[in-house]
Structure 1
Amino acid sequence: MKKKNFKNSLNLLFQAGLQPYKQKKNEKYMNLQQLKHFKIILETWKKKINKIITKNVFNIQDKSINLPDPIDRASQEEEINLELRNRDREYKIITKINNTLKRIENSTFGYCITCEIEIGIKRLEAQPIANLCIDCQTLSELKKKQIYR
């Protein structure tokens, strides 16, 4: 699973025309160059998702044919429901991307919203919409597991 996430984050960097950010010695965390790097990544990701959403809308419109066979109709409805769920997930990601872009503008990007420590460049490249450090994210996931048990 980690390899897949790493591969996806590298794919996103590649699509943005970027290489993984190499932090220079004594470089200030979240300087203008780093913020620009992440802004390009986020905007590229957002454009990619918008293209997928647009393509899926046309796919749903093309598939909405009234089929006489109930089994074919049920299969078609299931495919459309799956695409609608995917589109909903993509809209949620776009909302998170927009919120992250606002955090870049407000100079709060790269810092944990809970404890305000640095999230880290490598973590942000792997998950650009991350707003919690590893420790706070782990704690949040443990709390969710306890609540939903």
Structure 2
Amino acid sequence: MPSTATKVDTKLANAWKSKAGRDLTEAELMAMPEGEYMNDKQLDFFRARLEAQKEDLLSNAGETTEHLREDTSIVPDPADRATIEEEHALELRTRDRERKLLKKISQALARLDSGEYGFCDETGEPIGLGRLLARPTATLSLEAQQRRELKQKMFGD
């Protein structure tokens, strides 16, 4: 049974050699050797992921604008009006968070272009593929992020 697992891992470990970066799966990306960290294919993979995320957010923003325009009718019942206003406020808060995420995505794309993507802003160490898959806009390694959060908790920064 272990030999089957080894064969699968070997297959995954070599799959990236014949595929374009955009076509890699997360498992294939994670199976790449450490020496290939932030090679052209990995950079291509993350660029595609960031651009897709950006397109989704921009599409959602357009839908919100349309939705808010459609719901401008006057509702005589105060409870219904309050419900509609609360839904609008929630939607606007969500879009505000997405607007901030769009800024981080643009910064991540700029780091891809400058060759800084995938490396910690504080230490210069690799951030790690697992963390970048979970949060493609990450600028700090897990350890540096934990240190920052601990400082904020202790000193209220």
The answer to whether the superposition gives a TM-score over 0.5 is yes
Give 1 or 2 for the bigger CA radius of gyration: 2
CA distance 1:94–1:59, change in 2 (3 Å): same
Could you tell me which of 114, 122, 141 is aligned with 1:114?
122
- Percent of matched pairs sharing the same residue: 35
The residue aligned with 1:53 is 61
Aligned to 1:134: 142
> Which has a greater percent of helix?
2
Aligned to 2:79: 71
| Higher relative contact order structure (alpha carbons within 8 Å, sequence separation ≥ 6) | 1
Tell whether the 8 Å contact from 2:30 to 2:130 is kept in structure 1 after alignment.
no
> Hey, what does 1:7 align to over in structure 2?
none
> 1:105-134 CA distances to partner (integer Å, 9 max, x unpaired)?
000000000111000112101110011001
Please provide the CA RMSD for this pair.
Answer: 1.8
Alignment of 1:1-149 (within 5 A): 18-20=24-26, 21-25=29-33, 27-148=35-156
Tell me which stretches of 4 or more aligned residues in structure 1 moved more than 6 Å: none
The number of residues matched between the two structures is 134
Q: CA deviation at 1:60?
A: 1.1
SS of structure 2 residue aligned to 1:146: helix
Q: 5+ unaligned residues in a row in structure 2: which ranges?
A: 1-21
Q: What is aligned with 1:5?
A: none
Distance 1:147 1:61, change over 3 A: farther
Unmatched tracts of structure 1, length 5 or more: 1-15
